[in-house]
């Protein structure tokens, strides 16, 4: 019976049936179209040991067998789950045709030796054993790993080489989040030619037409009415910005860049620069089908990414789900803010990202053997990052997270720390950080990876002064 005929029948006195009505049938979705999670590998008795094989091979990506750069044959790689105080032993086997290495993005660990040392390369055909000793007071949250070979990072990351690392909080270990389902969403934006071969990255790919979630095109996600889920989301693309909106819903963000917020932030749109992470609570009380969008993002100079649907969320009573239906309060997953805004500053610096004469920082292209900034151990510094170019640049610094205090000189009140921040064209961002715990050499750079490959990267060195430095003001991690 058509809609018009049905309406006429009701108008003519035909009454609808009484009694309970059958539940609507779940949406017909092919089994392989439901969101798949990467393999999860857990630490055991304070240690997590894993082998990551870096290899170019065919993988099932975006619904077909395609060329990819993989960890352990998959896009993305496995999710590693550990606790603060654990030790991570990662054996990296390089089966690529060129050097690679491993950056643990968001880890507050030593930048030297066989820890988060991005100054070394693992040659093609070689194996290297990394060891990461995670501090007992490390911030809980979502971090990630990816290759960081200088000059070739974009090619490898663009092909799919990325995976996540979750550090659990004490509250989580006590079961504080047992009422919510935990999902990992790895966002990537590769492109292939008609033969299924990866395209070579170019400036035109700033606005990719392909957006993947856990290696899938528009996967389906099931929610039951009234249940709360935590989505841990990482932007693992080389250059795409993701402004996320779930139709008909607000999202409650509780962490950024692996650092818990001091208060929940309810928002319509969660913005993620390349390298950025967000942890959000998602709750739906209304049955229906809703699109998770990547909204158009302005990169500057006329580059605007398209509005694409990343995933389709189905909220139906009969769908599978594991979360509880009681209202979930996020307070156990939050953490107090160690506010640096009122603390005395040891040193102020201005760092300028520019495209005059190439991709540079402070007018210089990256030099592996040159130290650009020397900082003292435990010093509290204020850095102002200036973008004097026509393109957007996300700024990332290794090892130590920071507190954003100003945007274009205007004070802001952020609820937590981050390690990657968007600096818009002809704009500036000011942050404060304490270079605590670890001496050694590491990097700061634009996290549009082709920009850093082309030279928009600098070297900083943390030194322990002969005389006692500033007292440790407060822990950032």
- The two tokens of residue 450 are 């082709």
Instruction: Based on the fold, state whether residues 156 and 43 are members of the same structural domain.
Output: yes
β-bridge partners, 444: 397, 458
From 119, 147, 169, the end of a domain falls on 169
230 found inside a domain: yes
Strands 308-315 and 303-304: unpaired
Backbone angles phi, psi at 179, to 5 degrees: -80, -5
Task: List the domain range (segments joined by +) for residue 215.
Answer: 181-333
The pLDDT of residue 81 is above 90? yes
477 found inside a domain: no
pLDDT, mean over the chain: 89
Amino acid 436: pLDDT: 96
Instruction: Based on the fold, state whether residues 101 and 141 are members of the same structural domain.
Output: yes
Instruction: Based on the fold, state whether residues 74 and 191 are members of the same structural domain.
Output: no
Q: How far apart are CA 95 and CA 447, in angstroms?
A: 25
Instruction: Based on the fold, state whether residues 351 and 441 are members of the same structural domain.
Output: yes
Instruction: Based on the fold, state whether residues 205 and 301 are members of the same structural domain.
Output: yes
From 102, 137, 169, the end of a domain falls on 169
Q: What is the count of structural domains for the chain?
A: 3
Residue 302: exposed, middle, or buried by beta-carbon count in 10 A (0-12, 13-18, 19+)? exposed
The more confident residue out of 177 and 338 is 338
251 found inside a domain: yes
271 found inside a domain: yes
From 146, 169, 192, the end of a domain falls on 169
Mean pLDDT score, 207-235? 91
Q: How far apart are CA 290 and CA 103, in angstroms?
A: 35
Q: What CATH number did the domain enclosing 393 receive?
A: 2.60.40.420
Instruction: Based on the fold, state whether residues 144 and 197 are members of the same structural domain.
Output: no
**Of 4-18, 211-225, 287-301, 366-380, which gets the smallest average pLDDT?**
4-18
Confidence of residue 217 (pLDDT cuts 50, 70, 90): very high
The pLDDT of residue 17 is above 80? no
Instruction: Based on the fold, state whether residues 313 and 388 are members of the same structural domain.
Output: no
Q: How far apart are CA 442 and CA 334, in angstroms?
A: 29
Of all residues in the chain, what percent are helix, strand and coil, respectively (each to 5)?
5, 45, 50
Instruction: Based on the fold, state whether residues 188 and 319 are members of the same structural domain.
Output: yes
Q: Please give the full DSSP string across 272-316, using - where no structure is assigned.
A: E-TT-EEEEEEE--S-EEEEEEEE--EEETTEE---EEEEEEEE-
Backbone angles phi, psi at 332, to 5 degrees: -65, -20
Instruction: Based on the fold, state whether residues 162 and 186 are members of the same structural domain.
Output: no
Instruction: Based on the fold, state whether residues 157 and 199 are members of the same structural domain.
Output: no
175 found inside a domain: no
CB within 8 Å of 362: residues ≥ 6 apart = 351, 352, 372, 458
The pLDDT of residue 12 is above 50? no
Instruction: Based on the fold, state whether residues 186 and 241 are members of the same structural domain.
Output: yes
Instruction: Give percent of the chain with pLDDT exceeding 90.
Output: 75
The pLDDT of residue 367 is above 50? yes
Confidence of residue 172 (pLDDT cuts 50, 70, 90): confident
Instruction: Based on the fold, state whether residues 218 and 310 are members of the same structural domain.
Output: yes
Q: How far apart are CA 101 and CA 78, in angstroms?
A: 17
Please count the other Cβ atoms lying within 10 Å of the Cβ belonging to residue 52: 21
Amino acid 327: pLDDT: 61
Report whether 286 contacts 361 (CB < 8 A): no
Q: How far apart are CA 150 and CA 59, in angstroms?
A: 25
Q: How far apart are CA 104 and CA 86, in angstroms?
A: 15
Amino acid 427: pLDDT: 98
Amino acid 477: pLDDT: 47
């Amino acid at each position: 019976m058509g809609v018009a005929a049905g309406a006429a029948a009701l108008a003519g006195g035909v009454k609808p049936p009484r009694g309970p009505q059958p539940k609507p049938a779940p949406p017909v979705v092919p089994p392989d179209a439901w969101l798949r999670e990467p393999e999860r590998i857990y630490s055991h008795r304070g240690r997590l040991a894993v082998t990551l094989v870096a290899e170019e091979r065919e993988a099932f990506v975006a619904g077909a067998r395609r060329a990819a750069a993989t960890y352990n044959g998959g896009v993305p790689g496995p999710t590693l789950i550990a606790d603060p105080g654990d030790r991570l032993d990662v054996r990296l086997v390089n089966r690529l045709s060129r050097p690679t290495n491993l950056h643990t993005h968001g880890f507050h660990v030593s930048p030297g030796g066989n820890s988060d040392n991005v100054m070394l390369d693992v040659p093609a055909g070689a194996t290297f054993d990394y060891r990461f000793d995670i501090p007992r007071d490390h911030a809980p949250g979502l971090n990630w790993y990816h290759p960081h070979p200088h000059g070739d990072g974009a090619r490898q990351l663009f092909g799919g080489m990325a995976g996540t690392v979750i550090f659990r909080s004490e509250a989580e270990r006590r079961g504080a989040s047992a009422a919510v389902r935990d999902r990992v969403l790895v966002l990537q934006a590769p492109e292939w030619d008609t033969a299924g071969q990866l395209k070579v990255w170019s400036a035109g790919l700033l606005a990719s037409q392909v957006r993947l979630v856990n290696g899938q095109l528009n996967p389906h996600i099931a929610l039951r009415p009234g249940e709360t889920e935590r989505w841990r989301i990482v932007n693992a693309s080389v250059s795409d910005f993701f402004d996320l909106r779930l139709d008909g819903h607000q999202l409650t963000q509780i962490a950024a860049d692996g650092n818990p917020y001091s208060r929940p932030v309810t928002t319509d749109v969660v913005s993620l620069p390349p390298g950025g992470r967000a942890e959000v609570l998602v709750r739906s009380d209304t049955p229906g089908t809703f699109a998770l969008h990547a909204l158009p993002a302005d990169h500057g100079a006329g580059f605007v990414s398209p509005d694409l649907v990343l995933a389709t969320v189905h909220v139906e009573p009969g769908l599978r789900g594991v979360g509880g239906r009681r209202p979930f309060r996020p307070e156990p997953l939050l953490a107090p803010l160690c506010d640096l805004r009122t603390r005395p500053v040891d040193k102020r610096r201005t760092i300028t990202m520019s495209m005059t004469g190439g991709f540079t920082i402070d007018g210089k292209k990256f030099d592996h053997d040159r130290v650009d900034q020397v900082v003292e151990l435990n010093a509290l510094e204020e850095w102002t990052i200036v973008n004097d170019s026509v393109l957007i640049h996300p700024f990332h610094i290794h090892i130590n997270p920071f507190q954003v205090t100003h945007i274009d000189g205007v004070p802001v009140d952020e609820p937590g720390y981050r390690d990657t921040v968007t600096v818009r064209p002809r704009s500036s961002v000011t942050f404060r950080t304490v270079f605590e715990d670890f001496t050694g050499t590491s990097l700061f750079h634009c996290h549009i990876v082709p920009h850093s490959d082309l030279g928009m990267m600098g070297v900083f060195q943390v030194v322990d002064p002969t005389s006692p430095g500033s007292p440790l003001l407060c822990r950032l991690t």
